[in-house]
Amino acid sequence: MPKDIQEEVELENGEYVEIHSEEDFINLFNFDDDPWYKGIYYRCYYLVIEYLAPRQLHRRLIRWPLQRLARGFDDRELWNLDSSIAKLIVPRLKVFIKQSPRYGYPAVLEAGGDGHEKWDAILAEMLWSFEYALASYGEDWDDYPWKDRKAKEVLSDRYESGMKLFSKYCGNLWQ
């Protein structure tokens, strides 16, 4: 049942609209009544402003390719460095996990006797953390499964433990 609201809202064009219910408020943001050509207009406008503007063309055609040639990466990778690092680590860590039984494990893990099993569990936890970082990047956080606080805490604790394991055993990731 919609709540009764008695308010007046000023629109951008200076008009006032009376709002009597939640539905009236939601309908303020309903743009389905716009003609079909407005969508095309806004898409073309966005294309010109975001992609064909001289500053953007300079970045896309000159600056970023020169940066990739000079240093191996461009400025776009620095905007979200955590996801750029995760994109590099995940495929390499998957291959390392496939090949790890042929090689060894850190000597620190030998204390309990099950060094290979412990090492495989540590590697799996590291991989999960980096894959989680990639999966959560770009997601709409409101739609993510942690609407309840407990799920968020469990996922973030597991992520943190995987990252701590990575920092602890980073020097042991060699064959």
In this prediction, residue 139 carries a pLDDT of 54
Q: Burial letters for 113-122: b for 16+ Cβ neighbours within 10 Å, e otherwise?
A: eebeebbeeb
User: Whole-angstrom Cα distance, residue 128 to residue 154?
Assistant: 13
Domain ranges of the chain: 4-30, 80-175
Model confidence at 12, pLDDT cuts 50, 70, 90, reads low
* pLDDT for 63 beyond 80: yes
In this prediction, residue 1 carries a pLDDT of 42
Tell me if the pTM is above 0.75: no
pLDDT digits (tens, 9 = 90+) for 122-154: 999 999 999 888 887 765 555 555 556 777 778
In this prediction, residue 33 carries a pLDDT of 64
Mean pLDDT of the chain: 78
Tokens of 114: 């099950």
Using N-to-C axis directions, what is the helix angle for 149-169 and 115-136, rounded to 10°? 120
In this prediction, residue 51 carries a pLDDT of 74
User: Whole-angstrom Cα distance, residue 170 to residue 123?
Assistant: 10
Q: CA dihedral defined by 137, 141, 146, 150, rounded to 10 degrees?
A: 90
The mean pLDDT value for 80-105 works out to 86
